[in-house]
Chain A
Amino acid sequence: KNQVEQSPQSLIILEGKNCTLQCNYTVSPFSNLRWYKQDTGRGPVSLTIMTFSENTKSNGRYTATLDADTKQSSLHITASQLSDSASYICVVRVRGGYNKLIFGAGTRLAVHP
């Protein structure tokens, strides 16, 4: 069964600190993996996309990694800011056909001053 699991479910950090969010997936055949940021009460917005051949991709203070062998991805946030408080959702696309998207349940991050 195609699944995406994220950990931790929630996380509280102090402003300026770094953190890493995890995503494990059992999706086949794999096409790509995206991390989305969802602010409270708003729709998710794409942060990064990782394809099979990519190991690392950065978007400002956000760095995503992908290990296609172990089917794991991480999102590292550097020097966190209050505006980073949001839910972060890992989404894996199934290759072929409709190209279905499999969503993780998300990690809720709270950055405190």
Chain B
Amino acid sequence: EAQVTQNPRYLITVTGKKLTVTCSQNMNHEYMSWYRQDPGLGLRQIYYSMNVEVTDKGDVPEGYKVSRKEKRNFPLILESPSPNQTSLYFCASRHGTGTNEQFFGPGTRLTVL
């Protein structure tokens, strides 16, 4: 089944404790992105990657890191989480050409205390 998977789905952590949210897609998509979704603000892009070893900042990159060492994986790293990073996070992937339909993962709900 074609899908984007994220882990964990739910995470409660404390300020300053490094964490990684994994993302994997099995559709051979070139583009991958991370978004956060907060009430009333819609989806905001954190980082994106156009291919292996190619990453760039989105609209709200502060406090986040990413890497793209393999085409299928795009982990999101919070080196020192803070309470304002409490949010619902989505990973997404799409082809670089064609209609660009974006496929989203199931989401990771992160709470930073």
Q: Using a CB–CB distance below 8 Å, which chain A residues touch chain B?
A: 9, 31-32, 34, 41-46, 49, 89, 91, 93, 98-99, 101, 103-106
Contact = CB atoms under 8 A, between A and B. Distances in A.
B20 to A, nearest CB: 19
A105 B50 contact: no
Contact of B41 (A31, A91, A93, A105): A105
- Chain B binding surface SS class: strand
5 contacts: A43-B105, A43-B107, A44-B104, A46-B101, A49-B101
A87 B112 CA distance: 25
B90 to A, nearest CB: 5
A46 B100 CA distance: 11
Given A89-B43, A103-B42, A34 B101 contact: yes
Task: Bin the interface of chain B by size.
Answer: 20 to 34
B66 interface: no
Contact of A42 (B40, B44, B48, B106): B106
Nearest to B40: A105
Contacts of A105: 40-42
A45 B45 CA distance: 17
Interface in B18-56: 40-45, 48, 50, 56
A60 B56 CA distance: 38
